Structure 1
Amino acid sequence: MTISTPDLCDEYGDEVQVAEPVFKHFGGIRQFGGEIVTVKCFEDNSKVGEMVKTPGNGRVLVVDGGASPRRSLLGDMLVSQALVNNWSGIVIYGYIRDVEEIATMTIGVIALGTIPRKTEKRGLGDVNIRLQMAGLDIAPGQWIYVDETGVIVADKPLVTAG
C-alpha cells in the first residue's frame, strides 16, 4: 500500500482529520493504513493483547493509553501476534518497549515513545469505543492512514491495497 498523507489531505481537504505531530515510527513498515479497531486502556495492555490475537484482516489497532509514560502498552511479543494475525498496523497513544525487535518486523507501529516497564495485567480496558486523542475524534470503522509525514483519519477508505 502506497500512502501519501499530504496527497490525501490535498485531495480530501476537510474530509480528513489530521493528528497532532506526536507519534514516532517504530515498526519495519513506515506507510500503513486500514479500518480502525479501537482500544482504550490505562497502564494495562490486557485488551491490546486480546485484540492482536484475533484476525486483523488488514485493519489497524488504535490504542488510547492516555499518553501515560509510566508503562509500556506494547512489546515485541504482542507485535509478533499482530503480524501473524494480519493486522496492518498499531497506533499507540502511549509508550512501547522492545523497539529493536519491533523495528525488524514487517508491520506498522507508531507510538509516543518508549519505556522499558511492562504493564500489570488486570483485564481492564474498553474495545470498539470512540476515542479522543492527539487532536482526533476516532470511531471504530473509520479509516486511518500513516506515513512519515503524519497520521490522518477519514470516514471512508481513501486508498486501496496494491
Structure 2
Amino acid sequence: MGRTADICDEYGNEVFVANEPFLSHGPARSFEGPIETVRVFEDNVLVEQALGDIPAGSILVVDGGGSSRRALLGDNLAEIAVNRGLAGIIVNGAIRDSDELREMDVRVFSRFTNPRKSVKEGRGERSIPVDFADVTWTPGDYVYADSDGIVLLPAKS
C-alpha cells in the first residue's frame, strides 16, 4: 500500500486529492484499489446492488449529492462489502451504524452520519463519472486512502 503522501510526492500533478472533510469508519488503516461508482440521492437500492456485484478488491464510490438527511450505508450493507472482499467505500453523503462499522473489517469514509434510513425507490445511475470534493471519480481510476486523506490517480488511457 502506498501512503497518500508518498503517492502525491511521486505522481505530483497527475494525482487528485479529495478536498472535503470525510469521517473515517472501520478498523483498517488504509485501502487502495480501482473504483466503481454510483450516483444516488437519499436512496440506497443501487448502492446495495453495486456492493453485490462489483469485483472483489474494488472501492465503491457513492455520490449521494452530499445529503446529510438520510444514510446511504449501514452495517447490513457494509457486511456485504466485508463478505465480498471489497477494499473500501467512500460516501459523499451520510452513513449510519457508525459504532458497528468501526468493528467491521472494511473502512468507510463518509461526509456525515445520520440514523435515518434511506428511501428504496431504485433511482440513480451506476458506472458513470461523478464529481465531488474537487475530484472527478471515473470507474477504473485508482484510489489510495489513509488517515492523511483520499487521493485518486486516473487510469491510463
Name the counterpart of 1:67: 66
Question: More displaced, 52-61 or 103-112?
Answer: 52-61
> How do residues 3-152 of structure 1 correspond to structure 2 at under 5 angstroms?
3-152=2-151
Amino acid across the alignment from 1:60 = I
SS of corresponding position for 1:111:
strand
SS of corresponding position for 1:53:
helix
Per-residue CA deviation, residues 42-85 of structure 1 (Å, 9 max, x unaligned), is 00010001111125320100000001011000000000011101
Equivalents in 2 of 1:124, 1:60: separation in Å?
A: 21
The answer (yes or no) to whether the contact 1:56–1:82 under 8 Å persists in 2 is no
Equivalents in 2 of 1:125, 1:107: separation in Å?
A: 24
Per-residue CA deviation, residues 105-141 of structure 1 (Å, 9 max, x unaligned), is 1111000120000011001111000111011011101
Mark the runs of 5 or more structure 1 residues left unpaired by the alignment.
Answer: 158-162
Equivalents in 1 of 2:72, 2:134: separation in Å?
A: 20
Question: More displaced, 48-57 or 87-96?
Answer: 48-57
Equivalents in 1 of 2:3, 2:52: separation in Å?
A: 29
Mark the runs of 5 or more structure 2 residues left unpaired by the alignment.
Answer: none
The answer (yes or no) to whether the contact 1:60–1:91 under 8 Å persists in 2 is yes
Q: CA RMSD in A?
A: 1.2
Equivalents in 2 of 1:136, 1:142: separation in Å?
A: 11
Equivalents in 1 of 2:55, 2:61: separation in Å?
A: 12
TM-score, normalised to structure 2's length? Answer: 0.95
The answer (yes or no) to whether the contact 1:56–1:88 under 8 Å persists in 2 is no
Amino acid across the alignment from 2:13 = D
Question: More displaced, 144-153 or 20-29?
Answer: 20-29
Structure 1 residue 3, shift from structure 2 partner: 3.2
Per-residue CA deviation, residues 73-109 of structure 1 (Å, 9 max, x unaligned), is 0000000011101110000000100011110011110
Question: More displaced, 21-30 or 115-124?
Answer: 21-30
The answer (yes or no) to whether the contact 2:42–2:67 under 8 Å persists in 1 is yes
TM-score, normalised to structure 1's length? Answer: 0.93
SS of corresponding position for 1:95:
strand
The answer (yes or no) to whether the contact 1:3–1:32 under 8 Å persists in 2 is no
Amino acid across the alignment from 2:49 = E
